[in-house]
Amino acid sequence: LKYLDEYRDAALAEKLVAAIRREAKRPWTLMEVCGGQTHSIVRFGVDTLLPSSIELVHGPGCPVCVTPLELVDRAQAIARTSGVVFCSFGDMLRVPGSNGDLARAKAEGADVRVVYSPLDALALARANPEREIVFFAVGFETTAPANALAVKLARERGVENFSVLVSHVLVPPAVRSIFAAPDNRVEALLGPGHVCTVMGTSAYELLASEIRVPIVITGFEPIDLLEGVLRAVRQLERGDCRVEVQYARAVTRAGSAASIAVVDEVFEVCARTWRGIGVIPNSGYRLRDAYAAHDAERRFDVSHLQTRESSSCISGQILRGVRKPTECREFGARCTPERPLGATMVSSEGACAAYFNYGRERRAARTLELVS
């Protein structure tokens, strides 16, 4: 783990902050795309180190947050089907659906299990041939290769009782839709380091030339983030809009060929609904027809479900960077991680949960009022 320390070095951080102060002549608004980056920024107080002229807004890159309500409800319905073992990453258990969350389904008797990898779910399927094992395949380009691999192996090995409920989304189309909106105010992007480690950077070169803003592919440690901000500010001050790779220790232009190949073999691009944002064309993956036998939505009849979204949740605007969590009337009041109204309050990568857990503005102010 020692390698991490150099990316958390206080003296280096101070130097970078000084350089940002020196070079930023005008106010700029930057968006970090990834939920992991948002978490790290708030966890280490990176934004509290920046001059007030540099504003960081938080992007759509939290897979738990953008999984649409329809799929959360379908997951619940499948999980409550007798004979099913429903496997999921832990974060998804507490995402509110129309009628409670998966944790409640579990408490009421559904067999819901937390796994750390789709391959664990596949192993469970082989060990329990009499049960139906369903894995909730959520995520961005980062989780797609492992999920694709699990489905590929299931077909090759004839594991018929294994299926996946797919909710895969892609970063570039989401960014495009944010920039197409009239209320967009983002002027530069800190690009998703992990996504580019898998997929490479060529899609972002195309993107930068289309939306005409600097994109700095950035890592997740405090020093990474500060360096990402500095490079973005330099480009902004010069009027550039290039793709730069700050996270060069992991990212190559071509990405991981093996990962891209397995994703391409199992998945095809399709339109996806993003929670809080709406339908974005070509913004996600579904299983190719050759793998239809492992598609949970074909195996279980869940298309008839009616969804009901909380009317006061503004997670859509938060995911597009238009508003901040503390600008929501419900933040910290009716909406908390214990009783989330929307998904951005659930995952540790969700902007609202990060703000709440690390006690930003309003909550600190409220506590002060309560105590004094």
Partner 1 sequence: VNAGLDCPLPFGDYTNVVLGHGSGGRLSHALVEGLLLPALGLDPNATLEDQAILDPLAGRPAITTDSFVVSPLFFPGGDIGSLAVYGSVNDLAVGGAVPRFLSLALIVEEGLAIDTLRRVAASIRAACSRSGVRLVTGDTKVVERGKADGLYVTTTAIGVVPPGRRLSAANARPGDRVIVSGPIGDHGIAVLSKREGLALETELVSDSAPVHGLVLSALEVEPEIRCLRDPTRGGLSSALNEIARASRVGIRLDERAVPVRPAVRGACELFGFDPLYVACEGRVVAIVPARSAERVLETMQRRELGQEAAIIGEVVAEHPGVVTERSVVGGERVVSLLSGEQLPRIC
CA distance 42 to 355: 7
Quote the least distance from Cβ 158 to partner 1, whole Å. 27
Is the Cβ of residue 22 or residue 238 nearer to partner 1 in the bound state? 22
CA distance 165 to 80: 14
Neighbours of 309 (CB within 10 A): 17
Q: Work out whether 102 is an interface residue with partner 1 (CB under 8 A).
A: no
Quote the least distance from Cβ 132 to partner 1, whole Å. 22
DSSP H or E segment with residue 69:
helix 69-79
Is the Cβ of residue 93 or residue 260 nearer to partner 1 in the bound state? 93
Q: Work out whether 336 is an interface residue with partner 1 (CB under 8 A).
A: yes
Is the Cβ of residue 149 or residue 353 nearer to partner 1 in the bound state? 353
The residue within the footprint of partner 1, chosen from 33, 42, 262, 263 (CB under 8 A), is 42
Q: How are beta strands 267-274 and 111-114 bridged, if at all?
A: unpaired
The residue within the footprint of partner 1, chosen from 15, 21, 47, 250 (CB under 8 A), is 47
* Closest CA relative to residue 125, chosen from 97, 103, 90, 153: 153
Which residues are within 8 A (CB) of 66 and not within 5 positions of it... i.e. 6 or more apart? 60, 169, 174, 274, 275, 276, 277, 319, 343
Is the Cβ of residue 39 or residue 74 nearer to partner 1 in the bound state? 39
Q: Work out whether 203 is an interface residue with partner 1 (CB under 8 A).
A: no
Residue 57 tokens, joined: 């807004």
Residue 60 tokens, joined: 């759509």
The residue within the footprint of partner 1, chosen from 58, 74, 94, 294 (CB under 8 A), is 94
Instruction: Give the rounded distance of the alpha carbon of 292 from its chain centre.
Output: 26
The residue within the footprint of partner 1, chosen from 20, 33, 49, 170 (CB under 8 A), is 49
Q: Are 80 and 59 in contact (CB under 8 A)?
A: no
Q: Work out whether 147 is an interface residue with partner 1 (CB under 8 A).
A: no
The residue within the footprint of partner 1, chosen from 348, 350, 351, 352 (CB under 8 A), is 348
Q: Are 36 and 220 in contact (CB under 8 A)?
A: yes
Q: Work out whether 372 is an interface residue with partner 1 (CB under 8 A).
A: yes
Q: Which residues bind partner 1 (CB under 8 A)?
A: 1-2, 4, 8-10, 13-14, 42-49, 94, 116, 222-223, 226, 336-338, 348, 353, 356-360, 363-364, 367-368, 370-372
